[in-house]
Amino acid sequence: MGGFFGAVSHRDVVLDVFFGVDYHSHLGTKNAGMIIHDETGFQREIHSIANTPFRTKFENDLPGFHGTSGIGCISDTDPQPLLVRSHLGTFALTTVSAVNNAEELIKSCFDNGKRQFMAMSSGKVNDTELISALINQKEDLIEGIKYAQSVVDGSLTLLVMEQDGSIIAARDRMGRLPVLIGKNDEGHCISFESFPYQKLGYVDEYELGPSEIVRVTADGYETLSPATEDMKICAFLWVYYGYPNSNYEGVNVEVMRYRNGQIMARDEEAAGTRPEVDFVAGVPDSGIPHAIGYSAESKQPFARPFIKYTPTWSRSFMPSDQRIRDRIAHMKQVPVPELIEGKKLLFVDDSIVRGTQLRETVNFLYDIGASEVHMRSACPPIMYSCKYLSFSRGKSDMDLIARRVVQELEGDEGQKHLDEYADSSTERGKCLLKSICEQMGFDSLGYQSLEGMKEAIGIDPEKICTYCWDGKE
């Protein structure tokens, strides 16, 4: 996916931007960059972080940076931020986006007089460069940003740093990702996550609404284009993506995960589907708080039968080769045999997307001597690849284990009944659970219901994006 951090102040902000971006490292694994502005202009560095953490790549750049304004990003897609010179002036731009109609927009730019883009080695145009071309079709930055957001099929959230050092922040039209402003005595910052700026000595100032565009200076912020009422913030921010310390729309991530686990256990008890086990455990790391909630509600002991080793393998999805990713995922799982041998275990994971790593986990537990392995997902079966962000994006919906199993069970006819398969109380839903259990080797499988997940988040359900589960725009 990706994330960004910006700061503008009456003092030097280099370290704030450095640490603020670093604290977004859980949101991306490919590229990162920083642009700092002072009275002489812009300083920029972009590095690949595919095999090296952000802070390691950029710490040697810090002596060359100096300025009272800056932006930086973690990007799971293209190299950025970019420096752009156009009739609108010179500005720095970073985006977090999903541009599903990129080729159509590129052709439109050609038709409107833009003759070329700087293609990357793959031949693909950098999405951020494409966004800059769209912005530059209008007579000022604000109208350009609004135009770009209106024509992008997907999502677009961005930061623009102007020549005077001020920063423009724009939240996606449907508010799918958060944008927050923090303040201290000397300036302001803009961030996806709230905890980075809190650690840096800023306090909460403002959370942008959907479509809202603001200009941020050292002395404050002003709304340049107002927020709209319609919101579809991504539920996965709470379930998986978000850092535990962060708040979105006033709801803390960790608290939601505890509550989510409690609701799962409560509903399984009511349905008579909760197994008696020796330990409840979470698949590290994001599954752990869901499991703690499940354990507390079910009054069954919480334990950690295996620990994730992260000093050298912090993110299992870093390598591009799936075989290497799978091997690293296996190597990271360090067992505690005393908590596994002869034990009935119930694991809670944040989600079950493709299922490849979970199958490895189950085999690993049985090899050590587990008596039973029960699996619970903290969200419903994922039926659709995300159109708006990058969490469950894939080449095909058939990459998703739930969709593959539906196809195996009923062929194309089954694809017409995905709502039933997603509901564990229906016959089709029970067949889905049974088939995945057989394929994965679980003794039982349960998914959090869509209503239970919404209850755990706790905001107006109409403001939550649930496309991955129900296909509703």
Asked if the structure places residue 334 within a domain, the reply is yes
Residue 155 lies in a domain: yes
**Same domain assignment for residues 268 and 227:** no
321 and 446 share one domain: yes
Residue 86, domain member (yes or no): yes
SS (H, E, C) the chain: CEEEEEEEECCCCHHHHHHHHHCCHHHCCCEEEEEEEECCEEEEEEEECCCCCHHHHHHHHHHHCCCCEEEEEEECCCCCCEEEEECCEEEEEEEEEEECCHHHHHHHHHHCCCCCCCECCCCCECHHHHHHHHHCCCCCHHHHHHHHHHHCCEEEEEEEECCCCCEEEECCCCCCCCCEEEECCCEEEEECCCHHHHHCCCEEEEECCCCCEEEEECCEEEEEECCCCCCCEECHHHHHHCCCCCEECCEEHHHHHHHHHHHHHHHHHHHCCCCCCCEEEECCCCHHHHHHHHHHHHCCCECCCEEECCCCCCCCCCCCCHHHHHHHHHHHEEECHHHCCCCEEEEEECCCCCCHHHHHHHHHHHHHCCCEEEEEECCCCCCCCCCCCCCCCCCCHHHCHHHHHHHHHHHHHHHHHHHHHCCCCCHHHHHHHHHHHHHHCCCEEEECCHHHHHHHHCCCHHHEECHHHHCCC
Contacts of 311 (CB under 8 A, 6+ apart): none
The answer on 451 and 417 residing in a single domain is yes
**92 lies in some domain:** yes
- Whichever domain contains 99, its CATH number is 3.60.20.10
Instruction: Looking at the structure, tell me whether residues 83 and 224 fall in a common domain.
Output: yes
Residue 297 lies in a domain: yes
- pLDDT score, position 111: 87
295 & 399 share domain: yes
Last residue of a domain, one of 178, 196, 231: 231
In a domain, 247, yes or no: no
pLDDT of residue 317: 43
198 and 317: one domain? Answer: no
CATH number at residue 276: 3.40.50.2020
Domain span holding position 391: 253-470
237 domain-assigned: no
Q: How many domains does the chain have?
A: 2
Same domain? For 212 and 316 the reply is: no
- The pLDDT, as a whole number, for residue 316 is 42
pLDDT digits (tens, 9 = 90+) for 137-168: 999 999 999 999 999 999 999 999 999 999 99
CA atoms within 13 Å, Cβ hemisphere of 259? 15
| Segments in the chain below pLDDT 50 | 316-317
Shared domain for 10 and 158, answered yes or no, is yes
Please indicate, yes or no, whether residues 215 and 258 belong to a single structural domain of this protein. no
The per-residue b/e assignment along 341-356, b for 16 or more CB within 10 angstroms, e otherwise, is eebbbbbbbbbbbbbe
Residue 238 in domain:
no
Residues 190 and 327 in one domain: no
**Is the entire prediction scored with pTM above 0.85?**
yes
Tell me: do 218 and 77 sit in the same domain: yes
323 shares its domain with 217? no
